[in-house]
Amino acid sequence: MNFTQISHFITLARCLNFTEAAKQLYIAQSALSRKISALEDELGFKLFVRTNKATALTQAGKCMLKGFEHIMEDFEDTLREARQLDRYSTNRLIVGVLEMQSTNYGLYNVISMFSEDHKGFSVEVTVLGYRELRSGLQNGDLDIAITAGFELSTLTGVCSKPLCVLDNYLVVPSDHPGATLESPTLSDFSDLPFLCLNDSESPALDSLISETFKATAANMERKRFPKYRDLLMALESGQGVFGLNSSSLLSNSGSLRFIKVPEIENGVLVAAYSSRNTNPAIPLFMELIP
């Protein structure tokens, strides 16, 4: 038995749906079934009752879920503390930024000032998706995450500081008739799907898009993607429309137009960190943000 098996069991036990659990774990449903069967064989008893209509935990499965959750919580706390101690001893600060996002909103200047003022520390920048930024803050992989302000609505124990306000645009194919209108609205592009992430990748963004649709007359099909990079590739290839800010690297694409529509409001980019993270470089970095 290993932590991967335990993690797979917990995911399935919480949603009680093999298809949904496999999707969350990014593995095939058949692979998840084999892993659960192997775990049951190793334990010597059934964890789930499976029928054509539903999946349910056995009494033994409920007991194991409670115990495994405590084990994983203790392990994650210990691992997070060990990572922070390692970075403390090696004077490193790990900063995560959203993929396909330029640093011309001021982050580059903050990193330069930090490196100049604190020469004993090194700053390592890693590029991640929404879900990876959130989990990185929580599990200690990241010291600081540069992300959209709305992402923090689903997190607890996270502190933040506004980095800048970003102009948000509706990004559309440059050859679409609506791209040349003087005062376009979202409805002018209702013949195209609105590209979205799976709600597990960014529940907050999914909620924000739903609220936008409810508040407007736009009636658009949604096309979902598991990863942010997949969505951006589809956007650049003309498969639909999406909201992006002016610092997106796609702003230089000749096949796209960034246009202002009243339904897409401006957003706030924040520098966020976990209140449990004890890396001494964090307050030094945050105080440089104007």
Domain spans of the chain, in order of start: 3-79, 91-165+269-286, 168-265
Count other Cβ atoms within 10 Å, centred on residue 132: 20
Residue 218: pLDDT above 80?
no
Count other Cβ atoms within 10 Å, centred on residue 1: 11
- List the beta bridge partners of residue 92: 122
pLDDT of residue 68: 92
Six-digit token pair at 59? Answer: 């009494």
Angle between helices 130-139 and 59-90 (to 10 degrees): 80
CATH number of 168-265, picked from 3.40.50.720, 3.30.2350.10, 3.40.50.970, 3.40.190.290:
3.40.190.290
pTM: 0.70
Determine how β-strand 92-98 pairs with β-strand 144-148.
parallel
Provide mean pLDDT across the span 178-196. Answer: 93
Provide mean pLDDT across the span 242-248. Answer: 91
Residue 86: pLDDT above 80?
no
Query: DSSP 3-state assignment of 140?
Result: coil
Greatest alpha-carbon span in the chain: 69
User: pLDDT digit string (tens) for 89-138?
Assistant: 668 899 999 988 887 778 889 999 998 888 888 899 999 999 999 999 98
Q: Which amino acid, one-letter code, is at 41?
A: D
CATH superfamily placement of domain 91-165+269-286: Periplasmic binding protein-like II (3.40.190.10)
- Looking at CATH, the fold of the domain delimited by 3-79 is given as Arc Repressor Mutant, subunit A (1.10.10)
Asked whether 23 and 31 are in contact (CB, 8 A), the reply is no
